[in-house]
Copies of this chain bind each other. A is one copy, B any other.
Amino acid sequence: MNAALLAPASGLDAFLAEAASLLPPGALLRGEACAPYQADASGCHGQAAAVLLPDSTAAVSALLRASVRHRARLVPQGGRSGLVGGAVPDGSGRQAVLSLERMRRLREFDPLNRSAVAEAGLPLSELNRRLEPHGLWLPIDVGSDPAVGGLVGANTGGSRLLRHGDVRRNLLGLEVVLADEHGSVLDLTAPLRKNNAGIDLKQLFIGSGGALGVITAASWDLKRRDASSLTLFAALPAREAALAALDACEQSFGEMLSAFEVIGAPALDATLRQFPVLRHPLAGSAAGCYALIEFASAMPGLDALLQERAEALLTSLHARGLILDAAFGQAERLWPLRDSLPLALAAEGIPLSFDVGLPRSRLPAFLAAAERWLAAEHPALRLYDFGHFGDGGCHLIALLPRELAASYGPAKLAMLKSALYRLTAEHGGSFSAEHGVGPLNAAFYRKFTGAAAQGLAARLQRLLDPAAALGRHRYD
């Protein structure tokens, strides 16, 4: 450890004065101008001492060097689409937001290598818009529009993970600025598919929530866009049937199974209640749950084949009692049934949201246990489930009637959440499938992560960020 890192904190003001000298005019915001940068999609909000808007890796490096020297705290921020408050400063007004939004160049694009190097502030939608004419895309499919750096910091998954994988699987390289006294730049952006020349350092930063270093650019392993696809909506008697149907879909379609989203019947009912413009594709079925299934391939001209095979599969699943009814449909008409769900539930009460991941084989048993537990302990609350059944990701919402809000204070809510996560752990699951760790679930990280893993994460953070300069969530 060197002297600079052990020097007493010279403070935020000294840091901001230096930061102002490092940035062009207008790239350091104070006061009112900070407002848009103080909240994310989780509803979590805070108070920024300032917002820094560097437009180059060199500027990020200079800012990190200064923040380490002055012991100032920076919270890296991308598109503010996060759901755990990981990019939002705390309420102290002593943390500065380091927004990457001005770093949005597509530095390199190599269609023959199917790769692109994009800066951290480039929104996913913009990246894909620029790739579309070449028949390529980064196939991370989420409802929001994160920026590249946030995608990496959260290791975003989404609805097509079954076929395309998460961010980690689609990433070839990273550029990262370290929180050391040099603001060292790790240039690991070489777009190589095979590269085993030592410890793969970039992996450390994927999913770390900006706490181990500042991601300034990423190289992507682009995929060819789907050229054939089929979407269908099925009514199933129960979740166990969904599991068997999922297995059958994989046996018949292999890697072409692109999404297998399951929606509990009560969740679909709520969506249709709140959004009368949406139509029930299978009105009248006495289903326990519904599955939104997508088959797709980048091979052109398979639409008819997919339809023919899907019909045969559905006939066989129907004969086995695994499917009650099914409808083929256009993706843009069926996906809103799934995507409108969180909004619909929020309109019906106060949603307590859980983003859990389990071995998918254990999802039915876990969900049944969660329903039993909630009915016994919190009979006024109702549990709704929807999400990425095919990959074991499940979004659970326990809906608290508004009139009971007063009787559910912070302590009671924390106990409820903790009990549900305990049930998740007992079924071999994770308390955070997709959203990551931030202030909103820091307590659950402490509770449900093994001691050896917590210890190692803390030591890694201290190694990489000895001055505690970075990130909202602390592992140490």
Contact = CB atoms under 8 A, between A and B. Distances in A.
Which of A154, A162, A300 has the most chain B CB atoms inside 10 A of its CB?
Answer: A300
Contact of A252 (B191, B201, B299): B299
B445 A198 contact: yes
Interface stretch (A49-57, A178-186, A275-283, A378-386): A178-186
B194 A437 contact: no
B154 A113 contact: no
A298 interface: yes
A300 B251 CA distance: 8
B357 A299 contact: no
A44 interface: no
A77 interface: no
A452 B196 contact: no
Interface stretch (A35-43, A265-273, A428-436): A428-436
Contact of A359 (B113, B254, B309): B113
A72 B187 CA distance: 35
A106 to B, nearest CB: 16
Which of A166, A211, A254, A358 has the most chain B CB atoms inside 10 A of its CB?
Answer: A254
A203 interface: yes
Contacts of A448: 197
A224 interface: yes
A456 B212 CA distance: 12
Contact of A251 (B200, B224, B449, B454): B224
Contacts of A460: 199, 201, 463
Nearest to A185: B452
A357 B195 contact: yes
A426 interface: no
A47 interface: no
A192 B254 contact: no
B391 A429 contact: no
Given A165-B169, A178-B452, A203-B206, A195 B113 contact: no
Given A253-B299, A297-B256, A299-B253, A197 B431 contact: yes
A240 to B, nearest CB: 10
A42 B110 CA distance: 35
Contacts of A461: 199
Contact of A393 (B194, B204, B454): B194
B388 A135 contact: no
A331 interface: no
B254 A432 contact: no
A119 to B, nearest CB: 19
Which of A161, A194, A434 has the most chain B CB atoms inside 10 A of its CB?
Answer: A194
A207 B212 contact: no
A190 B361 CA distance: 13
B112 A243 contact: yes
A216 interface: no
How many identical subunits does the complex contain? 2
A132 interface: no
A204 B203 contact: yes
Given A185-B452, A300-B252, A452-B186, A196 B432 contact: yes
Nearest to A155: B196
B360 A112 contact: yes
A115 interface: yes
A448 to B, nearest CB: 7
Contacts of A372: none
A428 to B, nearest CB: 6
A196 B156 CA distance: 9
Given A199-B207, A254-B299, A193 B113 contact: no
A453 interface: yes
Contacts of A357: 192-195
A13 interface: no
Interface string A440-465: 00000100111011111101110110
CB-based closest 6 A-B pairs: A254-B298, A203-B203, A112-B361, A194-B433, A194-B357, A194-B393
17 contacts: A112-B246, A112-B361, A162-B193, A166-B194, A168-B200, A178-B452, A192-B429, A192-B430, A196-B433, A197-B437, A198-B445, A198-B457, A201-B457, A223-B255, A252-B300, A254-B300, A256-B299
Given A196-B432, A198-B445, A255-B299, 20 more contacts: A178-B456, A186-B450, A187-B450, A188-B453, A190-B430, A192-B358, A193-B392, A194-B393, A195-B357, A196-B433, A196-B436, A198-B449, A199-B204, A199-B207, A199-B208, A201-B460, A203-B206, A250-B298, A305-B305, A459-B463
